[in-house]
Structure 1
Amino acid sequence: MANVNIQELLESGVHFGHLTRKWDPNMAPYIYTERNGVHIIDLYKTAAKIEETSEALKKIANSGRKILFVATKKQAKDIVADKAKAVNMPYITERWPGGMLTNFVTIRKAVKKMASIDRMKTDGSFDALSKREKLQINRQREKLEKNLGSISDMTRLPGALFVIDIKKEHIAVAEAQKLNIPIFAMVDTNSDPRQVDFVIPANDDASKSIDKVLGFVTDAIAEGLSERKAGKEKTKEAKEAPIKEEAVAEVTETTTEEKK
């Protein structure tokens, strides 16, 4: 369980919402007050939601499914890429490719195209091409890497989406909803939380706020992955134990027979 410190959230500016005139009324349960025309988020509710979200994401990571992080806004891109890489999860920080989820087969073909270009470069067939063809293929590879390189290891649909700013990433949210993929998100006061399965009411515009919340989330994912690895090792040991016992019994039996 995430050990969320309210003071840390406060210092990171997680409580700052949008201007009151830009608010979404459905965020009312998560708003504490209004100050100088800006809504202030109730950090006690944020802390509770971070803990709830972290527990759910931990279970998904433990099950072996992938969690796809989505954040294309400037102040979130680098943070999301770093945090997702640290727990070996896929992420989209460039433009969301339309049909990324709903037309996943086509996206996988594009990822495989990257792999085939890489094979061409290693097996020597790339060297046989003309200078112009090489240039075209390299450009194609760079474009694919920029848009899809971060999901190259995602061989099936993700077990969940974690989104920063559901208004900006509305296409990703709509695709996940269509496929019943659980949506986790940092939701600011200008967005409709009803679109999300697990809401974290928080400032989704400031990099410090995004970094702080994602820190709790990815720590929980890392914990889930660690427990999965430990469970696998335990299962392996349990399977090997009877084999070892049989081997010991066999050796003991042979030794006893020789003594006779």
Structure 2
Amino acid sequence: MTPFVGELVGTMLLIIFGGGVVAGVVLKESKAAAGGWIVITFGWGLGVAMGIYAVGQFSGAHLNPAVTLALASIGEFPWRDVPGYVLAQMLGAIVGASVVWLHYAPHWQATSDSDAKRAVFCTDPAIDRPLANLISEIIGTFVLVLGILAIGANRFTDGLNPLIVGLLVLAIGLSLGGTTGYAINPARDLGPRIAHALLPIPGKGSNQWRYAWIPVVGPLIGGLAGAQFYSHVFIGGDTLLPGLAIGGLALWLAWTVIGARRQAAALERDGCD
């Protein structure tokens, strides 16, 4: 198996498991209907692990353009191979989403909620705030890439690493996924979103293209940041970078608190008037 085919097949498996668990939970007349967030996050985590187990020996199982770009940015992956990997990941995601559509064929007509149907394929925010949503995707993917690199630096029993990465994805879903559905992977969101647009799904509604840039741009930024943080701080021993990051976060929090207090004061004045 070539690395291109490996990335395609691995990403396809990831989406079959991940999109499949969402379909089972949200589509009507499914035996897994209303299984809830815990079921979804476990499905995605195990799906990641299975994808890595399947193709890790052939391609390294990136299964995520944000991971591929992040590794290339720190010299862990050749830049010349990035376009081919990203193309394979996108194609695999489209194929995987199409398999989920086929598997749940009778349930699309039985489900009237177009938002639920779209959720099988791609993410959307719990509260629609573009900047906050972008930050959520950046943070989630930062943790993902930092975690993958940290896991790779440890010694585990042979064959255990993919399961640990799957548990990392589970933890991200449980802890950080409630805001945007934790795409943390441009191919995972954009590929199935394209499939949603192309497939003949009864009553499927909008593709929400206006939101589609966030689960692409956010993970790319977060992945690059996570890789650079790991390279400079964990490997290079740089203390300036985390200091600047903490200082920037403190300034942002102070600005947010001051802004909130001013807004509350303005509302109180308006109420008095």
Does the alignment reach a TM-score above 0.5?
Answer: no
Higher strand share: 1
Between Structure 1 and Structure 2, whose CA radius of gyration is higher? 1
Which one has a larger percent helix, Structure 1 or Structure 2? 2
* Greater RCO structure (CA 8 Å; 6+ sep): 1
Q: Normalising to structure 1: TM-score of the pair?
A: 0.29
Query: Could you tell me the TM-score, scaled by structure 2's length?
Result: 0.28
